[in-house]
């Protein structure tokens, strides 16, 4: 805004003074009437002129916009097409004042030579980008200039960007995306004849697919500038073509009145502006402020009467000034309004652009994601699908009936009722439709569709239409199903595995613990989840028994890497009952898992191993003792002479100890066979127990001098299913013990006792008896109630008895009193007598 | 005449060693640890042949300990004779102060030779 000519601190004073004069004159001449008429008429003419200028500029902008449209419609616009467009516009007739319409192309420096070469190849041998300039990233060239010929050839290849005035307009157009008019320039086409002021009007065309958010991006996205070169005199002559004009027009660029900014004048050269009646109006065209000064000329003045002319001369003076004052305020208000309007327009354009961009992005997204869009009019029942919907449903547009039923009939029969109900509920309830259903293609293929829709209500709240999207989730579902299945399998493996697992993620923290781990260690998930390996190791170590503590993971890792998987780290978990775990570590190279710690329960294994070791050690000891006698006495006999009696005595010792070794070996073999076979080699048969006992008694050799045993009589009722030979062995062992442990004599009895459903074989002696502690251990291997070695025995007899009876489903009961005797009862299940 | 105490719960073994020792020693026998210690305190033998695994309140190793802590007995030579032949058992006996360790079955002649050697050293030390 620059209106120096009316600005100044004296203006209000002058206005006041002049108003006084005017008021005085008006009062004096009583000529308000004349005053009003002249002013009204002049104002009317001013408005006419302003409208004409604005209108013309709008028209010219339109023809340039047409050029933009040409570019938008076609990815490539040839020189030929541009020529046709301009020719078709018929500029001389419809748009006088446009010297040419040209296309300015930005040419990146790297492409400059190629561009020039291609232009020259088209036949323009002289073509170059002018004027020569130092190296720039981007050059501009008017590569298409129409009409092509005459003085317009001077513009061909002209780099407008080199001219500061033109550049300002170009940059405004590029950066703001608006039509922009340059300041006053002397067109390149000007010859020395009839030199006129001119200006450039340019509009930007961008590459549609490039971002245009920042200034730099807009420069980069620029495809071309559609430019019009205007000669001001020619342009305005269209408006002021008539010589009957009664007003004169001057246009000052940039809103500044000065001989240097005068873009146009209808006044003859050097003629003065008649100050008698003049008015200024500021208009904005192409982002440029033009000050239009419209002045009444002689013709206007002549048209009023002489008297009136005086009045007008005075009143006009008043008007002139008063209007200037008015203008002062008007300019302010008008420019504000224009600015607002311009901003609003820019805003609307920006919004439109954004909308177009959003739409374009949506289309792209919808296309790439194969999202179909549908629109269902609840009022009319019409269902509109976009092209992607047809693809999703594998329906050709001409096969689709565009109704609700056309949709529902394509749903999977099992999903149809539900999906329809959901849609109706959405319509009725005014809520969103968010579901999935299966559809059936014509070829019978079933697809899973995800559907989402929104209901649109009218102002009365009635549902009007529903707009929604569909997309195919068949593959996604299948993938999810596969994933789910795999997860379930893995979970099942983890859940069922007796081995415990701890999974560490890439950051080295516990990510997963299997149920078996929690069971084995007694730690629960919450205690260890998320711990890093140091904390985890410390936590687990706390759960261990001292001396068998979990080491740190670094140690395990080092061993894993050095020794491979063969290393076993044994730890013992504290708490009730012994629990020995073997811990191992495996490193993982997968994306999410760094290492897996596993734990195996080897409590049983270690116990078995311990039992085996103890057994071997005990067995060795039991064999070494008789062997010591055999070896030792043999050596003595070989090296010393003895009398016959002693010699015989010593040999008997050797013989007995040999027998003992044989018995031990046999019984160990028996025991291990019984244990290994676990009764599978038992030949079970129905036995009359009383009869069996009679047989045993008949074959049993009681020690010399001991009373003969008696067996209970058979009544055929006391039957069992048993292995005859094994049961005989068990009873014999017990009988043998009864005699052995009653060395001072006393009766040994053999009875049957019944306690249905079991029957007991009872052996009673009056021997040395046992303490409760001895009874407890009597069935242990190699345990001997007499440890003195006085009573010969292997220490295995009762172990064998126990094994045999238990494998028959029975139990061994022992009652004893030290010094009084022992009663052993072998309880086994009774068998029903045959036919019972 | 040197006194020797034989401690073993098996009479056969005691008799074997007694025969092997011949008539040149005064031989005492004990069939368990308690009796062995009692005889040792009473008779102050020069040497004890001691079985490890014996029934009763004291086993051979405990008897050995008792002999080694008793100033009146600590000079006694102790030869362990045992059916426990594992290296662990041997170490246990030797570290607790046994002079020799025989594992059953053993050679009575070698045992007697060892006994005589030990007692001869005593004589050599005493006589000069």
Dist. CA A251–CA A53, nearest whole Å:
10
The minimum CA-CA distance between B125 and chain A, rounded to whole Å, is 31
Q: Do B10 and A657 touch (CB under 8 A)?
A: no
Cβ of A788 under 8 Å from any chain B Cβ? yes
Q: What is the mean pLDDT of residues B51-55?
A: 82
* Number of helical (H) and strand (E) elements in chain B, helices listed first: 5, 5
Who among B16, B19, B105 is closest to A624 (CB)?
B105
pLDDT at residue A665 is higher than 60: yes
Q: Do B9 and A620 touch (CB under 8 A)?
A: no
pLDDT at residue A324 is higher than 50: yes
Give tens-digit pLDDT for A1-43. Answer: 444 444 444 555 555 555 555 545 554 554 555 556 677 777 8
pLDDT at residue A658 is higher than 60: yes
Cβ of A631 under 8 Å from any chain B Cβ? yes
For residue A787, the tally of other CB atoms under 10 A from its CB is 17
A503 membership: H or E segment, kind and range:
strand A500-505
pLDDT at residue number A636: 94
> Do A404 and A376 touch, CB atoms closer than 8 A?
yes
The minimum CA-CA distance between A786 and chain B, rounded to whole Å, is 9
Segment 633-692 of chain A within 8 Å of chain B by CB: 633, 635-636, 639-640, 650, 653, 657
% of chain A surpassing 70 pLDDT = 85
Dist. CA A346–CA A176, nearest whole Å:
9
Q: Do B104 and A620 touch (CB under 8 A)?
A: no
Give tens-digit pLDDT for A361-409. Answer: 777 777 777 788 888 888 888 888 888 899 899 988 888 888 888 888 9
pLDDT at residue number A834: 56
Q: Do A632 and B20 touch (CB under 8 A)?
A: yes
Q: Do A635 and B103 touch (CB under 8 A)?
A: no
Higher pLDDT: A444 or A566? It is A444
Dist. CA A124–CA A109, nearest whole Å:
20
Q: Do B16 and A636 touch (CB under 8 A)?
A: yes
pLDDT at residue A611 is higher than 70: yes
> Do A452 and A354 touch, CB atoms closer than 8 A?
no
Q: Do A620 and B83 touch (CB under 8 A)?
A: yes
> How many A×B Cβ pairs under 8 Å?
68
> Do B6 and B29 touch, CB atoms closer than 8 A?
yes
pLDDT at residue A259 is higher than 60: yes
pLDDT at residue number A312: 46
Which one, of A770, A624, A793, lies nearest residue B53 by Cα? Answer: A624
For residue A514, the tally of other CB atoms under 10 A from its CB is 23
Higher pLDDT: A8 or B16? It is B16
- B110 vs A contacts (CB less than 8 Å): none
Q: What is the mean pLDDT of residues A409-422?
A: 91
Give tens-digit pLDDT for A98-150. Answer: 888 899 999 988 888 888 888 888 888 888 888 887 788 888 898 888 888 88
- ∠A723-A726-A727 over CA atoms, to 5°? 80
pLDDT at residue number B47: 95
| Residue A138 backbone dihedrals phi, psi, to 5 degrees | -135, 130
Burial class for A67, CB neighbours closer than 10 Å (0-12, 13-18, 19+): buried
Q: Do A788 and B16 touch (CB under 8 A)?
A: no
Dist. CA A44–CA A47, nearest whole Å:
5
Confidence of residue A220 (pLDDT cuts 50, 70, 90): confident
Q: Do A621 and B84 touch (CB under 8 A)?
A: yes
Cβ of A616 under 8 Å from any chain B Cβ? no
- A617 vs B contacts (CB less than 8 Å): 84, 86
State which of A472-476, A716-720, A781-785 shows the largest mean pLDDT. A472-476
Which one, of A308, A316, A313, A298, lies nearest residue A247 by Cα? Answer: A298
| Residue A503 backbone dihedrals phi, psi, to 5 degrees | -105, 130
Give tens-digit pLDDT for A474-484. Answer: 888 888 889 89
The position carrying tokens 């016959």 is A644
Q: What is the mean pLDDT of residues A701-723?
A: 79
The position carrying tokens 């066979």 is A673
The minimum CA-CA distance between B83 and chain A, rounded to whole Å, is 5
- Look at A198-202, A724-728, A745-749, B90-94 and tell me which has the smallest mean pLDDT: B90-94
DSSP summary character for residue A8 = S
Higher pLDDT: A353 or A730? It is A730
- Whether the model clears a pTM of 0.80, i.e. scores above it, the answer is no
Q: Which residues make beta-bridge pairs with A740?
A: none
How many Cα atoms within 13 Å fall on the side-chain side of residue A7?
Answer: 9
Q: Which residues make beta-bridge pairs with B7?
A: B30, B50
What is the secondary structure of A209-271 as a DSSP string?
A: TS--SSHHHHHHHEEEEEEEEEEHHHHHHTTS--TT-SEEEEEEETT--SGGGEEEE-SPTTP
Burial class for A672, CB neighbours closer than 10 Å (0-12, 13-18, 19+): exposed
Q: Which residues make beta-bridge pairs with A106?
A: A140
Who among B11, B86, B108 is closest to A617 (CB)?
B86
Q: Do B104 and A653 touch (CB under 8 A)?
A: no
The minimum CA-CA distance between A772 and chain B, rounded to whole Å, is 16
ipTM over 0.90 threshold: yes
Q: What is the mean pLDDT of residues A793-801?
A: 81
pLDDT at residue A307 is higher than 50: no
Give tens-digit pLDDT for A66-99. Answer: 888 888 887 788 888 888 888 887 777 777 778 8
State which of A254-258, A432-436, A677-681 shows the largest mean pLDDT. A432-436
Cβ of A628 under 8 Å from any chain B Cβ? yes
Who among B19, B83, B108 is closest to A625 (CB)?
B83
What is the secondary structure of B90-120 as a DSSP string?
A: HHHHHHTT-SEEEESS--HHHHHHHHHHHHH
Q: How far apart are the first and last CA of chain A?
A: 129
Burial class for A392, CB neighbours closer than 10 Å (0-12, 13-18, 19+): buried
> Do A281 and A42 touch, CB atoms closer than 8 A?
no
Best of A615, A619, A622, A632 to mutate (most B CBs within 10 Å, chain B): A632
The position carrying tokens 């489903």 is A809
Q: Do B108 and A640 touch (CB under 8 A)?
A: no
Four-CA torsion A125, A128, A132, A137, nearest 10 degrees: -140
The minimum CA-CA distance between B25 and chain A, rounded to whole Å, is 17
Who among A628, A639, A650 is closest to B105 (CB)?
A628
Dist. CA A797–CA A148, nearest whole Å:
129
Higher pLDDT: A237 or A99? It is A99
Q: Do B16 and A629 touch (CB under 8 A)?
A: yes
Q: What is the mean pLDDT of residues A334-340?
A: 64
What is the secondary structure of A94-151 as a DSSP string?
A: HSTTEEEEEEEEEEEHHHHHHHHHHHHHTT-TT---BS--S--SEEEEEEEEES-SGG
Q: Do A630 and B106 touch (CB under 8 A)?
A: no
| 3-state class (DSSP) for residue B26 | strand
- A627 vs B contacts (CB less than 8 Å): 104-105
- B107 vs A contacts (CB less than 8 Å): 631-632, 635
Burial A466-493 (b: 16+ CB within 10 A, else e): bebbbbbbeeebeeeeeeeeeeeeeeee
Give tens-digit pLDDT for A669-678. Answer: 888 877 777 7
> Do A830 and A810 touch, CB atoms closer than 8 A?
no
Cβ of A625 under 8 Å from any chain B Cβ? yes
The minimum CA-CA distance between B114 and chain A, rounded to whole Å, is 15
Dist. CA B50–CA B36, nearest whole Å:
9
The minimum CA-CA distance between A659 and chain B, rounded to whole Å, is 15
pLDDT at residue number A339: 72
Which one, of A635, A690, A684, lies nearest residue A810 by Cα? Answer: A684
Q: Do A629 and B83 touch (CB under 8 A)?
A: no
- A632 vs B contacts (CB less than 8 Å): 13, 16-17, 20, 105-108
- B83 vs A contacts (CB less than 8 Å): 620-622, 624-625, 628
- A661 vs B contacts (CB less than 8 Å): none
pLDDT at residue A739 is higher than 70: yes
Dist. CA A747–CA A743, nearest whole Å:
11
CA A765 from chain centre, in angstroms, equals: 84
- Look at A72-81, A514-523, A675-684 and tell me which has the smallest mean pLDDT: A675-684
Who among A628, A633, A639 is closest to B106 (CB)?
A628
Higher pLDDT: B128 or A153? It is A153
Best of B21, B51, B60, B105 to mutate (most A CBs within 10 Å, chain A): B105
The minimum CA-CA distance between B41 and chain A, rounded to whole Å, is 23
Alpha-carbon Rg for chain B in angstroms: 13
Question: In whole numbers, what is the pLDDT of chain B averaged over residues?
Answer: 88
Question: In whole numbers, what is the pLDDT of chain A averaged over residues?
Answer: 80
Which one, of B43, B50, B40, lies nearest residue B115 by Cα? Answer: B50
State which of A531-540, A736-745, B11-20 shows the largest mean pLDDT. B11-20
- A629 vs B contacts (CB less than 8 Å): 10, 12-13, 16, 105
Q: What is the mean pLDDT of residues A516-530?
A: 87
The minimum CA-CA distance between A639 and chain B, rounded to whole Å, is 9
- Look at A363-372, A574-583, A628-637, A684-693 and tell me which has the smallest mean pLDDT: A363-372
Dist. CA B32–CA B39, nearest whole Å:
11
């Amino acid at each position: 805004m620059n209106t120096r000519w009316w600005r100044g601190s004296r203006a209000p004073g002058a206005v006041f003074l002049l108003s006084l004069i005017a008021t005085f004159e008006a009062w004096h001449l009583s000529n308000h009437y004349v005053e009003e008429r002249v002013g009204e008429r002049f104002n009317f003419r001013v408005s006419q002129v302003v409208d004409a200028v604005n209108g013309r500029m709008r028209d010219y902008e339109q023809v340039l916009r047409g050029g933009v449209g040409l570019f938008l419609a076609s990815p490539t616009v040839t020189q030929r097409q541009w020529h046709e467009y301009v020719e078709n516009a018929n500029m001389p007739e419809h748009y006088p004042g446009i010297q040419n319409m040209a296309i300015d192309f930005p040419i990146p420096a790297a492409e400059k030579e190629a561009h020039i070469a291609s232009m020259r190849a088209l036949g323009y041998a002289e073509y170059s980008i002018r004027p020569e300039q130092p190296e720039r990233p981007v050059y501009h060239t008017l590569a298409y200039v129409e009409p092509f010929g005459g003085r317009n050839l001077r513009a061909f290849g002209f780099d407008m960007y080199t001219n500061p005035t033109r550049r300002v307009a170009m940059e405004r157009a590029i950066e703001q995306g608006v039509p922009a008019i340059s300041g006053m320039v002397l067109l390149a086409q000007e010859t020395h004849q009839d030199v006129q002021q001119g200006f450039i009007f340019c509009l930007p065309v961008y590459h549609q697919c490039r971002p245009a958010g920042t200034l730099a991006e807009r420069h980069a996205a620029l495809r071309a500038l559609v430019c019009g070169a205007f000669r001001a005199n020619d342009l305005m002559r269209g408006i002021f073509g008539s010589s009957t004009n009664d007003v004169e027009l001057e246009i000052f660029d940039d809103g500044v009145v000065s001989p240097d900014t005068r873009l146009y004048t209808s006044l003859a050269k050097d003629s003065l502006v008649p100050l008698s009646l003049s008015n200024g109006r500021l208009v904005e065209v192409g982002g440029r402020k033009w000050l239009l000064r419209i002045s009444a000329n002689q013709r206007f003045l002549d048209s009023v009467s002489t008297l009136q002319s005086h009045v007008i001369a005075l009143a006009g003076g008043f008007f002139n000034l008063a209007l200037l004052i008015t203008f002062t305020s008007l300019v302010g208000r008008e420019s504000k309004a224009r600015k607002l309007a311009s901003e609003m327009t820019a805003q609307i354009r920006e919004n439109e652009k954004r909308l177009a961009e959003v739409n374009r992005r949506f289309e792209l997204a919808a296309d790439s994601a194969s999202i179909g869009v549908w629109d269902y009019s609840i009022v009319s029942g019409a269902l509109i699908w976009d092209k992607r919907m047809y693809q999703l449903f594998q329906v050709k547009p001409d096969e689709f009936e565009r109704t609700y039923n056309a949709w529902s009939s394509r749903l999977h029969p099992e999903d149809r009722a539900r999906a329809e109900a959901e849609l109706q509920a959405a319509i009725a309830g005014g809520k969103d439709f968010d579901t999935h259903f299966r559809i059936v293609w014509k070829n019978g293929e079933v697809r899973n569709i995800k559907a989402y829709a929104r209901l649109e209500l009218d102002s009365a709240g009635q549902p009007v239409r529903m707009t929604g999207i569909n997309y195919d989730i068949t593959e996604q579902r299948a993938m999810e199903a596969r994933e789910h299945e795999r997860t379930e399998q893995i979970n099942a493996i983890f859940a069922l595995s007796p081995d415990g697992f701890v999974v560490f993620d890439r950051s080295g923290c516990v990510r997963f613990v299997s149920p078996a781990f929690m069971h084995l260690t007694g730690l629960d998930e919450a205690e260890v989840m998320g711990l890093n390996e140091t904390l985890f190791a410390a936590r687990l170590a706390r759960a261990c028994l001292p001396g068998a503590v979990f080491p740190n993971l670094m140690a395990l890792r080092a061993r894993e890497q050095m020794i491979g998987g063969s290393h076993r780290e044994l730890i013992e978990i504290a708490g009730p009952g012994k629990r020995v775990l073997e811990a191992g570590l495996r490193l993982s190279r997968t994306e999410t898992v760094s290492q897996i710690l596993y734990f195996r329960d080897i409590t049983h294994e270690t116990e078995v191993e311990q039992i085996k070791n103890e057994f071997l050690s005990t067995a060795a000891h039991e064999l070494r003792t008789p062997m010591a006698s055999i070896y030792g006495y043999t050596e003595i006999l070989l090296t010393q002479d003895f009398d016959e009696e002693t010699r015989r005595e010593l040999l008997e010792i050797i013989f007995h100890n040999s027998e003992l070794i044989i018995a031990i070996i046999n019984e160990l073999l028996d025991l291990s066979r019984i244990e290994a076979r676990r009764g599978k080699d038992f030949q079970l048969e129905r036995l009359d127990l009383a009869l069996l006992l009679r047989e045993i008694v008949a074959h049993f050799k009681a020690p010399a001098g001991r009373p003969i045993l008696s067996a209970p009589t058979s009544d055929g009722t006391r039957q069992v299913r048993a292995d005859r030979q094994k049961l005989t062995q068990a009873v014999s062992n017990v009988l043998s013990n009864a005699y052995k442990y009653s060395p001072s004599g006393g009766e040994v009895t053999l009875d049957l006792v019944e306690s249905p459903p079991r029957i007991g074989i009872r052996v009673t002696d009056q021997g040395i008896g046992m303490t409760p502690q001895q009874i407890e251990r009597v069935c242990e291997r190699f345990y001997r109630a007499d440890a003195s070695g006085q009573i010969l025995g292997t220490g295995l007899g009762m172990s064998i008895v126990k094994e045999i009876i238990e494998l028959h489903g029975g139990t061994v009961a022992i009652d004893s009193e030290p010094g009084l005797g022992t009663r052993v009862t072998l309880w086994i299940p009774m068998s029903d007598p045959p036919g019972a | 005449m040197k006194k020797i105490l034989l401690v073993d719960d098996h009479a056969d073994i005691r008799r074997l060693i007694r025969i092997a020792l011949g008539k040149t020693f005064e031989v005492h026998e004990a069939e368990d640890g308690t009796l062995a210690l009692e005889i040792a305190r009473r008779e102050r033998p020069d040497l004890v042949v001691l079985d490890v695994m014996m029934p009763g309140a004291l086993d051979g190793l405990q008897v050995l300990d008792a002999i080694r802590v008793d100033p009146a007995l600590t000079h006694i030579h102790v030869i362990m004779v045992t059916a426990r032949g594992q290296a662990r058992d041997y170490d246990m006996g030797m570290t607790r102060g046994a002079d020799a360790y025989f594992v059953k079955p053993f050679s009575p002649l070698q045992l007697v030779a060892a006994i005589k050697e030990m007692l001869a050293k005593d004589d050599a030390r005493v006589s000069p």
